[in-house]
């Protein structure tokens, strides 16, 4: 499998273990802490702690049926996404763009590239994700891109700090899904 992939004019590549520190920094800066306030994807009001650590990212990069795609600009990783194969579909998570680059179409391009990658490499027919239900603007963002709420909710993993330290007791995930097209 080639390490680089082009969707339209947008190029992504498979993350390597060497990319780990840059990807961990990017993801945590976009979702948690003061730096996340520069973008609109912050989870700061909901969670403390980190979004991902080096060990979990290395596992996502190295294991079969799992890829992390990255997009670079001038040698800097400015966007990433995680895909995990699941039957005839896949799970999409950790869609991240650098906070100062949000709101300019980079996330939309990264999402489209991930969907095409899943179809072209895994022949995925559907893609699903989980989003914290309180993140209404993010759910609306995905709905504008063809994702639909399935009606399924999943509990937030309270007590597992790998997902962050909750600031409220009512967190849960909503499952979103999209049908993908070949070609």
Contacting residues for 131 by C-beta, under 8 A, at least 6 apart: 138, 139, 142, 173, 174, 176
Q: Which residue has the tokens 């895994």?
A: 122
Q: Are 93 and 138 in contact (CB under 8 A)?
A: no
Condensed to tens digits (0 to 9), the pLDDT of residues 85-123 reads 999 999 999 999 999 999 999 999 999 999 999 999 999
DSSP annotation of 88 reads T
pLDDT of res. 38: 84
Tell me the residue ranges of DSSP E strands in the chain.
Answer: 4-7, 10-14, 47-48, 66-73, 76-86, 89-97, 126-132, 148-155, 165-166, 172-179
Query: Which of 29-43, 77-91, 153-167: highest mean pLDDT?
Result: 77-91
pLDDT mean over 131-158: 97
pLDDT of res. 170: 97
pLDDT of res. 1: 58
- CA 137 – CA 41 distance, rounded (Å): 9
What tokens does 152 get?
């399924």
Residue 183 pLDDT level (bands cut at 50, 70, 90): low
Instruction: Give yes or no for residue 52 having a pLDDT over 70.
Output: yes
Q: Class of the 4-179 domain?
A: alpha beta
- CA 28 – CA 24 distance, rounded (Å): 6
Q: Which residue has the tokens 């009606």?
A: 151
Domain boundaries, the chain: 4-179
Q: Are 47 and 164 in contact (CB under 8 A)?
A: yes
pLDDT of res. 127: 99
- CA 136 – CA 140 distance, rounded (Å): 6
Q: Are 10 and 109 in contact (CB under 8 A)?
A: yes
Q: Are 122 and 85 in contact (CB under 8 A)?
A: yes
Residue 81 pLDDT level (bands cut at 50, 70, 90): very high
DSSP annotation of 103 reads T
- CA 62 – CA 182 distance, rounded (Å): 27
């Amino acid at each position: 499998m080639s390490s680089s992939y082009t969707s339209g004019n947008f190029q992504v590549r498979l993350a390597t273990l060497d990319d780990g520190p840059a990807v961990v920094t990017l993801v945590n800066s976009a979702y948690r802490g003061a730096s996340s306030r520069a973008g609109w994807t912050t989870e700061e009001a909901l969670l403390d702690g980190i979004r991902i650590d080096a060990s979990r990212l290395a596992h996502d990069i190295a294991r079969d049926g799992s890829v992390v795609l990255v997009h670079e600009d001038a040698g800097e990783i400015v966007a990433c996404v995680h895909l995990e194969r699941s039957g005839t579909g896949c799970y999409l998570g950790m869609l991240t763009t650098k906070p100062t680059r949000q709101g300019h179409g980079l996330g939309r391009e990264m999402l489209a590239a991930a969907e095409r990658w899943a179809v072209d490499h895994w022949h995925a027919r559907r893609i699903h994700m989980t989003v914290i239900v309180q993140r209404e603007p993010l759910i609306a963002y995905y709905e504008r891109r063809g994702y639909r709420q399935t009606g399924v909710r999943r509990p937030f993993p309270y007590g597992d700090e790998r997902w962050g330290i909750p600031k409220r007791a009512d967190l849960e995930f909503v499952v979103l899904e999209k049908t993908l097209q070949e070609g």
